[in-house]
Amino acid sequence: MNDRPTFSPFWHRVRLMKPRLRPHVQITRQQYRGRRWHVVHDPTSNQFYRLNPIAQDFVGMLDGTRGVEEAWKASLQKFGDMAPTQNEVIQLISQLYSANLLACDTTPETDQLLRRGRERIKKKVAAQAIGIMYFKIRMFNPDRLLTLAEPIIRPILNIWGFLAWCVLLVAALVTVLPEWDRLAQGFDDLRGDPSQWIWVGIVFVITKAIHEFGHGVLCKRFGGQVPEFGIMLLVLFPSPYVDASACWAFPSKWKRVAVGAGGMIFELAVASVAAFVWVSGQPGDLATKLAYNAMLTASISTVLFNANPLMRFDGYYILADWLEVPNLAQRSNKMLMHLMQKYVYRLRNLTAPSSLRGEQAILITYGLAALAYRIFLFITITLYVMGKFFAIGLLLAVWTASAWFIIPIGKFLHWHASSPQHSEHRLRGWGISCAMIALVVIALGMVPFPDRRRGEGIVESLDRTTVYFLSEGFIDIVHKRAGDHVEAGEAIVTFINPELEKRADAVLAQLEEFQVQERSARAAGEIGGVQIALERIRVAQENLDEVRRMQDDLVVRAPHAGVIAGMDLESRRGGFLKRADPVCEVVDPSRLRVVAVMEQRQAAWLFEGRETVGLPVSVRFYSSPSTLIEGIGIPSVEAGQKIMPSAALTFVGGGRAEPEMRDESGRVTKRPWFPVRIEAENPADLIAAAFPGERVKVRFDLPPRPLAAQWLDRLQKEMQGRVQL
């Protein structure tokens, strides 16, 4: 049951007042989830107020000639129990008055006006301080600009324009998708070329300006005003914004949605045009590069940020308008709070933020999703910034944590201590709060959780033979592939070399000729001639042997039993190999081991005190993720290396380590690494599963500890690492 006392002790303050709505205030009618609402809008100050039909009827009666009491009594006559109570009337009048929507017949009190102004500024400053991630700088009033621009593009702001936009978008997608490789390559180039970043920044600001223009022009198109343009520092990055809130008064929700989506529509159009320019442009051109940047920023940022309804950007407003749930975010927070009060604190006499079933479901879903997203975003942004600039990141983390979590919790506790609703069961309320805090403390500070560190490694063999090609020829038949087992002497590859055949034929012919020479010389009794012929025959015979040997060597055989590793011969079929080129490696699988590489900073404390004992570790293979090998990791003495055991562990080979730019081999890294030798618990499993040279994921299992201890430890180590820098 909900208390709505009819009378208010302060009624005398408004009773005889004869207020009226200010003459320039506009009221529009809107539908929200089948209910009628009236939005009171002051276009000059851009203040809004939403009234339900009964309140609207009451406000409608305030025409400056009727007293408040008279209007209230009329409302009571009309609506009975539904009529506003005296308290509600006072609330309504004070709020409308504070928003400057209501003119009163009293002389305005200068002190009060000034104080209200001061407080408004104070509030604004406080809001800015808390939302430091979205710092707004107001610049100018773009209304005249938009008034000039709007008629020019009005012809395309209709359904045909929208269809054309769809076609443009599809066409751009169709053009770009086949060039996917180039697209990805371009991205890598961009990442590796800091000189491009400033261009990306400039292009970003320009595309965002077009985005905001889109909002503005659509708002203008439907009759709204756009009084403010400025720059918002979004996580310290400048991004333009406009104030298109005039659209909140539009009666049709589709128009509101259109204004909300306007930015993205314009930005995606820009992205599409840029896509055409990029596809047809000359690679390496500045114009092409810029087009590429524009295409990328305009599409990715739009999809990631603007369209995301969980952040307070366009997507949120579009969603709220589309679902017809105004103030979605605040009300969903209130809804969660309400559920907490109702089911955890078991308070009575509560009013839910919404009485409609469907709306409640939306509020709860949105509230939970937004909360989860907020936590996720907080952690990612903080970790990212901390990775780059540790101190700023830490500051940002503390700031944001207090704005998003600590202040709300503090407010909740304060409410707890002071709200009259609670006075009855304050003790119980505190009990529940303490129990919840205790639960969190126990969960974080006492319950041990598995503590795991992840890294990468590579499978190495201790016994390996590189098989070199002793002949020359083209690869013909590949008998054994990488990973296949071979016995000693078994054929691995058969090469083909037609030239050798010819050479053999030629040498044979020569030999026969020399033998004829010898016979004829012997018959003629020329001792000298026989000598010469015999010498020639010997040379020819040697040649022949050589060619024969080379022909034999066209079949490459395993020098010993083992597993083939190394190059992928199959893909090089028909290729030509010179003498002494390596063909493949044959490794002895019974002598494999895994070497993990951890970042020096991390590994140093990972193994602190465990240098000789090692840590339990589990290894998974990229080739067969289901196989798991357990073992012990023992740190190697050769710590602090900058050369990886294999290029497979750096970006070059698909690994995680950042390679030094100038290095050709791809094995030299920027930061020092720390090899960890892993001894498999059961070597047979490793032999069965692993291929030498394969990249693996490793996971070190530290003894389980409470989460708080883990986090503290990490933070501490992280700090230590930074302080040294």
Partner 1 sequence: MSQTVTRYHALFESLRSRRRKPENRKGLDLFAATAAMKVRHARVTLGYLRREAERIDALAPDLKKHSDRALDDVVRTVRESFVRGRAEVALVRRAFACVREVARRETGEEAYIVQLMGAVALYKGRIVEMVTGEGKTLTGSIAAVPLAWRHKHVHVFTVNDYLAARDAESRAGIYRRCACEVGAITQSVEERERAAIYARAIVYGTPKQITADWLRDQIRLGQLSTAWTGRALLSRGGAGATHPGAGGPLIPGLHACLVDEADAVLIDEGVVPLIIARARREDDMAAIYKDAAEIARKLDAKADFTIDHLRRRADLTRRGEHRTAQLSERLEDPIWRATRRAQELVRQALVARHCYLNGHQYQIVDGRVVIVDEYTGRFLPDRSWEHGLHQAVEAKENLEITADRETLARMSFQRFFRTYPFLCGMTGTAADASGEMQRVYERPVTVVPTNRPLARLKMPTRVFRSSEARWNAVVDSIADLHRQRRPVLVGTRSIEASELLAARLTARGLVHRVLNASFDKDEADIVAQAGRHGTITVATNMAGRGTDIKLDRESREHGGLHVMLTEMHSAKRIDRQFIGRAGRQGDPGSSQVFMSLEDELVRHQAPGLLGYLRAIAGSDELSGVARRQALAVFRIAQRRAEARGRRMRTDVLRHDDWIEKHMPGG
Site of interaction with partner 1 (CB under 8 A): 1, 4-7, 9-15, 17, 19, 80-81, 90, 93-95, 97-98, 102, 104, 106-109, 111-112, 115-116, 420, 423-424
- Residue 17: CB minimum distance to partner 1, A: 7
591 Cβ contact partners less than 8 Å away, ≥ 6 residues apart: 461, 462, 463
Neighbours of 502 (CB within 10 A): 11
Tell me the CA distances in angstroms from 298 to 200, 269, 287, 444, one per residue in order: 11, 9, 16, 42
Of the candidates 475, 449, 88, 603, which has an alpha carbon nearest to the alpha carbon of residue 79? Answer: 88
Other CB atoms closer than 10 Å to residue 407's CB: what's the count? 12
Question: Which residue, 70 or 718, is less far from partner 1 as judged by CB?
Answer: 70
Q: Cβ closer to partner 1: 81 or 664?
A: 81
Nearer to partner 1, 12 or 388 (CB): 12
Torsion of CA 382, 388, 392, 394, to 10 degrees: 40
Nearer to partner 1 (CB atom), residue 87 or residue 382:
87
Q: How does 683-710 read in b/e, with b if 16+ C-beta sit within 10 Å?
A: bebbeebbbbbbbbebbbeeeebbebeb
Q: What are phi and psi of 468, to 5 degrees?
A: -100, 155
* Closer residue to partner 1 in complex, CB, 51/96: 96
Minimum CB distance to partner 1, residue 19 (Å): 7
Least Å from the CB of residue 410 to partner 1: 11
Report the residue number, 128 or 466, with the smaller CB distance to partner 1. Answer: 128
Minimum Å gap between C-beta 339 and partner 1 is: 23
Contact 684, 610 (CB under 8 A): no
Q: 3-class SS at 172?
A: helix
Using the minimum distance from each CB to partner 1, give the nearer residue, 54 or 145.
Answer: 54
Q: Which is nearer to partner 1, 68 or 268 (CB)?
A: 68
* Alpha carbon 275 to its chain's center: 23
Q: What is the DSSP letter of 179?
A: G
Nearer to partner 1, 92 or 475 (CB): 92
Residue 109 or 512 having the CB closest to partner 1: 109
User: At its nearest, how many Å lie between partner 1 and the CB of residue 6?
Assistant: 6
79 burial level (CB within 10 Å; 0-12, 13-18, 19+):
middle
Report the distance separating Cα 639 and Cα 571, nearest Å.
Answer: 38
Supply the minimum distance, in Å, between the C-beta of residue 81 and partner 1. 4
Contacts of 555 (CB under 8 A, 6+ apart): 491, 493, 494, 495
Q: For the CB of residue 619, give the shortest distance to partner 1 in the complex, in Å.
A: 56
Distance of CA 568 to the CA centre of its chain: 35
In residues, how long is the chain?
725
Distance CA 448, CA 298 (A): 46
Give least dist CB 457 to partner 1, A: 55
Q: Are 714 and 472 in contact (CB under 8 A)?
A: no
Q: Minimum CB separation from partner 1 for residue 268, in Å?
A: 45
Contact 405, 342 (CB under 8 A): no
From CA 714, how far away is CA 307, in angstroms rounded? 35
Specify the DSSP class assigned to residue 609.
T
Cα(115)–Cα(235) distance, integer angstroms: 33
Q: What's the token pair of residue 8? A: 């208010």
Q: Please list the residues that pair with 576 across neighbouring strands.
A: 474
Least separation, in Å, of the C-beta of 169 and partner 1?
Answer: 50
State in angstroms the smallest separation of the CB of 429 from partner 1: 15
* Nearest to partner 1 of 403, 491 (CB atom): 403
Task: Measure the CA–CA gap between 594 and 458, rounded to whole angstroms.
Answer: 6
Nearer to partner 1, 423 or 571 (CB): 423
Q: Can you tell me the distance from the alpha carbon of 524 to that of 139, in angstroms, rounded to the nearest whole number? A: 115
Closer CB to partner 1, residue 12 or residue 662? 12
Q: Which amino acid is at 255?
A: K
What count of Cα atoms within 13 Å lies in the side-chain half-sphere of residue 700? 26
Largest CA distance in the chain: 153
CB of residue 108 vs partner 1: minimum separation in angstroms?
Answer: 8
Q: Which is nearer to partner 1, 91 or 175 (CB)?
A: 91
Give the C-alpha separation, 514 to 261, whole Å: 93
Q: Which residues pair with 466 in a beta bridge?
A: 585
Distances in whole angstroms, Cα of residue 444 to Cα of each of 398, 430, 441, 447, 449: 19, 21, 5, 6, 9
Taking a C-beta distance cutoff of 8 angstroms, is the pair 309, 367 a contact? Answer: no
Q: Name which of 90 and 339 has its Cβ closer to partner 1.
A: 90
Q: Residue 609 — left, alpha, or beta (φ > 0 → left; ψ -120 to 50 → alpha)?
A: left
CB of 65 to partner 1, least distance (A): 17
What angle do helix axes 314-323 and 253-280 make, rounded to 10 degrees?
140
Among candidate residues 19, 115, 106, the one with its CA nearest the CA of residue 68: 19
Q: Tell the smallest beta-carbon distance from residue 98 to partner 1 (Å).
A: 6
Helices (H), 222-323: 253-280, 286-301, 314-323
Residue 112 CB, shortest distance to partner 1, in Å, is: 4
Amino acid present at 213: F
- Smallest gap from Cβ 109 to partner 1, in A, equals 4
| Residue number, 99 or 371, with CB nearest to partner 1 | 99
Q: From CA 725, how far away is CA 498, in angstroms rounded? A: 63
Nearest approach, Cβ of residue 135 and partner 1 (Å): 22
Instruction: Tell me how far, at minimum, the Cβ of 21 lies from partner 1, in Å.
Output: 13
Q: Which is nearer to partner 1, 93 or 264 (CB)?
A: 93
When the beta carbons of 86 and 272 are compared against partner 1, the nearer one is 86
What's the half-sphere exposure (Cβ side, CA atoms, 13 Å) at 514?
A: 17
